[in-house]
């Protein structure tokens, strides 16, 4: 375990490892997303209450799950950076942030689109949507803070502290928003819990979620390789790679 | 022995650039270590390492044989640091500044002791004026009064000769010399050349590539 | 198959203007990130090569 | 330096470099010294103390002018409005929390002292709350009169603000510590800190609303207290870590 962590700390070793893992994840992502999309759009049965509009959840749920997972992954990377001072961890955290923000935005966008046929309005202060919106601001804060620092090393540590503070706060924010929501509008029906889905409905959802995960991992590996090259561009092994 | 700060094969990387590598240092009782180098050569970063603020990417730093990061508490109790910014709050009086400094160092300082240390740096009678009403040189002298007020074996001074006049420079030079005679040690960055050069060892940080 | 024809699939039971934009944005974002990452990589290698040439000339 | 002082004679005992027993002070004395310094600084700056209160008053005046002076409408939005205004007033006062200390090198001295840094940070934040949050909590009921806040809400408003602003000071100080080294940290600070303020706002405004509607205020106040307990326990360490990063890189 220890040697593994220390090996991960070596950018060159990490670069090679990412390169080796990458194709598998790309293939899995492509396969799962294609199968999932066809299944979800074409073959899963129509919801008797919401009709075909429910097919939005095949985008909404995976992106919402990823939006949360990515922040947690960033927090883990931040902790690794602060505790073991492993630079690759920060590079990973940096690379994940824009995709996390994009997924949060997608979850908001699809949720709001779903709101029109369901609630008849583009935006409702539903507990889930509200905390997702706040999470988007957390992502943007992390990205903005990184951009504000001239020194990459200093920015990395500052962002790590902010990410950890954010991840501690996310459950508190969620809880408070739910509390606030019940205070102001007695729960109607929530976005991602349609009454007991049948297997032919949730199977494609599972496939889509796995596909999104694989895509995220593949993209992160790919961009992590870029980031390693960029940050290590002065070293000999990177320069030899360029030839 | 009061001071034993050792560095072995110290290296520093900032923002993916090596500032210095394989640096060996020893600072013991009576030593004056002068750190020289062009702008951007890593002087400030080296001082931050020597004050246990940054950990080196390679090499070891020890205080009395123990790794500096583990001996922080004992090290800070032996250290007196005056940085590039002197650490004097402009809105506070000289006396308030010094009594806060003493408290942060964990020392009880009576008003009489503070007055005496201010007198030693030529600020007798200025005790109760806010520092912002004093000149830049006088504000630096408030910081230098800490050298009189606190008995700390290791002094680390970042450009201590800036902004003070010729008398002040002579005083500080003598004060550093007596500190070393008493068994203390001084690490400093400066462009100033000492008159008594025999005690001073110099480290020149080159432009590393 | 939940739909009788391709046009029925496109119509999404009357919900086309909600379902397709959501899926469209998802596809756009995923493809966009892939293109961005590839562009980033190509530019990086370009830069590395340029630096290599410059240093070779200097040496 | 004057010649007369340079010849000053010190006895051997005074010149001894080893720490002398009996002259070291305890943590409570360190805390007192830090609080005393912050209070003295605040006293010298004087006018800055009134600014958050004036800000609160002005924001409160804007709303009836912007919406309508109807008492029942104002009464309905008063709890949230007063809380938001107080929250923004806290936010505005935060940017200055570490800035002068950073510029004059005092912060560097703090980091290099043998005293526990989280404790010193807590002392700084405590004074910030005492001089910003506490006055806001005391003045907000006065502003409540302008917004025709129903009579049952006043005590809860003051209590929830007193509790809540302490959390706001602690959380905000983390953001202030992260941005202290940045030339234009002010706007960024709001972006970082505001999302983290939301739970405090929800529970604080919720407590006042519950008081007005005749519900129990205990749950919301208890939750505010829990948030504060968590913030007191964790934030000083985050602030200390953030300061080390900002000062040392």
Transcribe C29-59 into DSSP letters.
HHHHHHHHHHHHHHHHHHHHHHHHHHHHHH-
**Separation CA B12–CA D174 (nearest Å):** 28
Q: How confident is the model at residue D127 (pLDDT cuts 50, 70, 90)?
A: very high
Q: Which of residues 18-57 of C touch A (CB under 8 A)?
A: 18-19, 21-23, 25-26, 29-30, 33-34, 37, 40-41, 44-45, 47-49, 51-52
Please list, in sequence order, all residues whose beta carbon lies within 8 angstroms of the beta carbon of residue D28, skipping any fewer than 6 positions away. Answer: none
* Higher per-residue pLDDT: D7 or D201: D201
The answer to whether C and B touch (≥3 CB pairs < 8 Å) is no
Q: Per the CB < 8 Å rule, is D195 touching A137?
A: yes
- Return the CATH number at A149: 1.20.120
Q: Contacts of residue C25 in chain A, CB cutoff 8 Å? A: 59, 106, 109-110
**Separation CA D149–CA A150 (nearest Å):** 48
Q: How confident is the model at residue A53 (pLDDT cuts 50, 70, 90)?
A: confident
**Separation CA B152–CA B86 (nearest Å):** 17
Output DSSP code: residue D22.
T
**Separation CA A142–CA B113 (nearest Å):** 49
Q: How confident is the model at residue A196 (pLDDT cuts 50, 70, 90)?
A: low
Contact indicator for B101, D37 with CB cutoff of 8 Å: no
**Separation CA D177–CA D189 (nearest Å):** 9
Give the closest-approach CA distance of A103 to chain C in angstroms: 8
All partners of chain D with 3 or more CB pairs under 8 angstroms? A, B
Question: Among positive and negative, which fits the CA dihedral B194, B195, B201, B205?
Answer: positive
Rounded mean pLDDT of chain D? Answer: 89
Q: Is residue D56 part of a domain?
A: yes
Contact indicator for A233, C47 with CB cutoff of 8 Å: yes
For the record, the structure tokens of A43 come out as 């073959």
Tally of domains within chain D = 1
Domain span at residue C52? Answer: 6-58
Residue D18: predicted pLDDT: 56
Residue A146: predicted pLDDT: 94
Contact indicator for C51, A233 with CB cutoff of 8 Å: yes
Contact indicator for A146, A98 with CB cutoff of 8 Å: no
Burial B166-191 (b: 16+ CB within 10 A, else e): eebeebbeebbbebbebbbbbbbbee
% residues pLDDT > 90 (chain C): 49
Q: Per the CB < 8 Å rule, is A176 touching D203?
A: yes
- pLDDT of residue A203 exceeding 80, the answer is yes
Q: How confident is the model at residue A195 (pLDDT cuts 50, 70, 90)?
A: low
Q: Per the CB < 8 Å rule, is B107 touching D24?
A: yes
3-state secondary structure chain B: CCCEEEEEEEEEEECCEEEEEEEEEEEECCCEEEEEECCCCCHHHHHHHHCCCCCCCEEEEEECCEECCCCHHHHHHHEEEECCCCCCCCCCEHHHHHHHHHHHHCECCCHHHHHHHHHHCCCCCCCCCEHHHCCHHHHHHHHHHHHHHCCCCEEEEECCCCCCCHHHHHHHHHHHHHHHHCCCEEEEECCCCCCCCCCEEEEEECCCC
Residue D8: predicted pLDDT: 38
Tally of domains within chain C = 1
**Separation CA B140–CA B118 (nearest Å):** 12
Residue B57: predicted pLDDT: 80
Q: Per the CB < 8 Å rule, is C33 touching A219?
A: yes
**Would you call A134 helix, strand, or coil by DSSP?**
helix
Residue A54: predicted pLDDT: 85
- pLDDT of residue D6 exceeding 50, the answer is no
Q: Is residue C1 part of a domain?
A: no
* Higher per-residue pLDDT: C31 or A194: C31
Q: Which is nearest to A185 in space by CA: A129, A133, A116?
A: A129
Q: Contacts of residue B15 in chain A, CB cutoff 8 Å? A: 151-153
All partners of chain C with 3 or more CB pairs under 8 angstroms? A
Contact indicator for A132, A107 with CB cutoff of 8 Å: yes
- pLDDT of residue A4 exceeding 80, the answer is no
**Separation CA A101–CA A140 (nearest Å):** 7
Q: Is residue D21 part of a domain?
A: no
Contact indicator for B16, A231 with CB cutoff of 8 Å: yes
Residue A139: predicted pLDDT: 97
For the record, the structure tokens of A98 come out as 């824009």
Residue B37: predicted pLDDT: 84
Q: Per the CB < 8 Å rule, is D194 touching A165?
A: no
Residue D212: predicted pLDDT: 92
For the record, the structure tokens of B119 come out as 């007198």
Tally of domains within chain A = 1
A83 touches chain D (CB under 8 A): no
Residue carrying structure tokens 């020597």: B50
Residue A7: predicted pLDDT: 67
Within 10 A of C47 (CB to CB), how many other CB atoms are there?
14
Q: Which is nearest to B124 in space by CA: B108, B136, B138, B140?
A: B138
Least confident interval from A79-88, A129-138, B60-69, C8-17: C8-17
Q: Is residue A214 part of a domain?
A: yes
Residue range D135-171, pLDDT digits in tens: 999 999 999 999 999 999 999 999 999 999 999 999 9
Tally of domains within chain B = 1
- pLDDT of residue D103 exceeding 60, the answer is yes
Residue D20: predicted pLDDT: 47
Q: Is residue D171 part of a domain?
A: yes
Q: How confident is the model at residue A157 (pLDDT cuts 50, 70, 90)?
A: very high
pTM of the model: 0.91
Domain span at residue D118? Answer: 26-248
Q: Which residue, among A84, A86, A146, A153, would best test binding to B if mutated, counting the most B CBs under 10 Å from its CB?
A: A153
Q: Is residue D220 part of a domain?
A: yes
Q: Contacts of residue D234 in chain A, CB cutoff 8 Å? A: 168
Through-space distance between the first and last CA atoms of chain A, rounded to whole angstroms: 35
Contact indicator for C2, A43 with CB cutoff of 8 Å: yes
Contact indicator for B98, B145 with CB cutoff of 8 Å: yes
Q: Contacts of residue D104 in chain B, CB cutoff 8 Å? A: 85-90
- Chain centre to alpha carbon of residue D195: 17
- Rg of chain A in Å (alpha carbons): 20
Q: Per the CB < 8 Å rule, is A226 touching C40?
A: yes
Domain span at residue B81? Answer: 4-205
For the record, the structure tokens of D122 come out as 């807590």
Q: How confident is the model at residue A70 (pLDDT cuts 50, 70, 90)?
A: very high
B53 touches chain A (CB under 8 A): no
Within 10 A of C35 (CB to CB), how many other CB atoms are there?
10
Chain B residue with the nearest C-alpha to that of D241: B53
- pLDDT of residue D1 exceeding 70, the answer is no
Chain B residue with the nearest C-alpha to that of A232: B16
**Would you call D23 helix, strand, or coil by DSSP?**
coil
Contact indicator for D161, D136 with CB cutoff of 8 Å: yes
- pLDDT of residue A189 exceeding 50, the answer is no
Residue carrying structure tokens 């000492």: B194
Q: Is residue A3 part of a domain?
A: no
Q: How high is the mean pLDDT in each 10-residue block of chain B (209 residues)?
A: 88 78 89 86 88 87 91 91 91 94 90 93 90 92 93 92 88 91 90 73 69
Nearest to B119 among D5, D17, D20 (CB): D5
Q: Which residue, among B16, B40, B69, B208, would best test binding to A if mutated, counting the most A CBs under 10 Å from its CB?
A: B16
Residue A20: predicted pLDDT: 94
- The average pLDDT across A11-21 equals 91
**Separation CA A83–CA A103 (nearest Å):** 28
Residue C33: predicted pLDDT: 97
């Amino acid at each position: 375990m220890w040697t593994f962590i220390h090996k991960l700390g070596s950018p060159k070793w990490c670069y090679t490892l990412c390169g080796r893992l990458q194709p598998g994840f790309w293939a899995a992502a492509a396969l799962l997303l294609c199968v999932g999309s066809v299944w979800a759009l074409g073959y899963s049965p129509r919801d008797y209450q919401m009709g075909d509009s429910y097919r939005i959840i095949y985008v909404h749920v995976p992106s919402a799950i990823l939006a949360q997972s990515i922040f947690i992954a960033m927090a883990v990377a931040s902790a690794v950076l602060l505790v073991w001072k492993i630079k690759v961890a920060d590079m990973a955290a940096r690379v994940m942030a824009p995709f996390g923000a994009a997924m949060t935005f997608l979850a908001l966008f699809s949720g709001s689109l779903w709101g029109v046929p369901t609630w008849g309005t583009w935006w409702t202060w539903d507990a889930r949507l509200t905390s997702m919106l706040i999470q988007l601001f957390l992502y943007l804060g992390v990205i903005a803070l990184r951009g504000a620092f001239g020194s990459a090393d200093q920015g990395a540590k500052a962002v790590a502290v902010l990410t950890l503070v954010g991840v501690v706060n996310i459950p508190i924010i969620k809880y408070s928003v739910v509390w606030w929501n019940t205070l102001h509008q007695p729960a109607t029906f929530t976005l991602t819990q349609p009454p007991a889905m049948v297997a032919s409905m949730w199977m494609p959802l599972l496939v889509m979620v796995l596909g999104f995960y694989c895509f995220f991992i593949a993209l992160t590996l790919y961009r992590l390789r870029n980031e390693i090259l960029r940050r290590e561009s002065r070293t000999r092994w990177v320069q030899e790679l360029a030839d | 022995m009061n001071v034993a700060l050792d560095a072995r094969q110290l290296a520093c990387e900032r923002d993916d650039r090596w500032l210095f590598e394989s640096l060996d240092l020893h600072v013991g009782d009576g030593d004056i270590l002068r750190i020289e180098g062009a702008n951007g050569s890593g002087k400030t970063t080296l001082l931050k390492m020597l004050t246990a603020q940054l950990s080196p990417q390679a090499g070891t730093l020890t205080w009395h044989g123990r790794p500096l990061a583990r001996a922080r508490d004992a090290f800070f109790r032996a250290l007196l640091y005056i940085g590039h910014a002197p650490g004097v709050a402009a809105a506070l009086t000289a006396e308030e500044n010094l009594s806060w400094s003493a408290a942060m160092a964990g020392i009880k300082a009576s008003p009489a002791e503070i007055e005496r240390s201010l007198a030693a740096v030529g600020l007798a009678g200025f005790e109760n004026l806010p520092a912002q009403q004093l000149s830049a040189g006088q504000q630096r002298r408030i910081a230098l009064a800490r050298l009189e007020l606190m008995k700390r074996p290791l002094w680390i001074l970042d450009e201590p000769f800036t902004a003070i006049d010729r008398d002040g420079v002579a005083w500080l030079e003598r004060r550093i010399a007596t500190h070393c005679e008493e068994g203390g040690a001084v690490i400093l960055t400066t462009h100033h050349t000492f008159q008594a050069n025999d005690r001073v060892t110099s480290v020149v940080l080159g432009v590393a590539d | 198959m939940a739909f009788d024809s391709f046009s029925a699939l496109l119509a999404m039971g009357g919900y086309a203007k909600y379902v397709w934009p959501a899926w469209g944005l998802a596809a756009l974002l995923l493809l966009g990130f892939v293109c961005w990452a590839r562009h980033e990589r190509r530019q990086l290698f370009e830069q590395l090569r340029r630096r290599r040439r410059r240093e070779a000339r200097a040496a | 330096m004057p010649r007369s002082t340079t010849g000053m004679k010190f006895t051997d005992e005074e010149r001894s470099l080893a720490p002398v027993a009996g002259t070291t002070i305890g943590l409570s004395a360190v805390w007192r010294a830090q609080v005393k310094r912050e209070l003295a600084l605040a006293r010298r700056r004087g006018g800055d103390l009134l600014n958050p209160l004036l800000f609160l008053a002005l924001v409160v005046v804007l709303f009836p002018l912007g919406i309508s002076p109807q008492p029942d409408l104002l009464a309905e939005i008063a709890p949230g409005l007063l809380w938001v205004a107080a929250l923004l007033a806290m936010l505005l006062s935060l940017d200055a929390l570490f800035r002068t200390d950073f510029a004059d090198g005092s912060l560097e001295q703090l980091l290099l002292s043998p005293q526990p840094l989280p404790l010193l940070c807590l002392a700084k934040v405590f004074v910030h709350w005492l001089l910003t949050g506490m006055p806001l909590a005391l003045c907000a009921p006065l502003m409540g009169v302008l917004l025709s806040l129903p009579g049952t809400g006043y005590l809860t408003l003051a209590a929830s603000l007193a509790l809540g602003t302490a959390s706001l000071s602690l959380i905000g100080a983390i953001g202030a510590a992260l941005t202290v080294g940045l030339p234009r940290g002010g706007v960024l600070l709001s972006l970082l800190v505001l999302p983290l303020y939301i739970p405090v706002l929800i529970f604080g405004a919720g407590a006042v609303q519950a008081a007005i509607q005749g519900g129990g205020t205990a749950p919301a106040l208890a939750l505010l207290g829990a948030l504060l307990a968590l913030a007191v326990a964790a934030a000083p360490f985050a602030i200390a870590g953030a300061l080390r990063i900002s000062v040392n890189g």
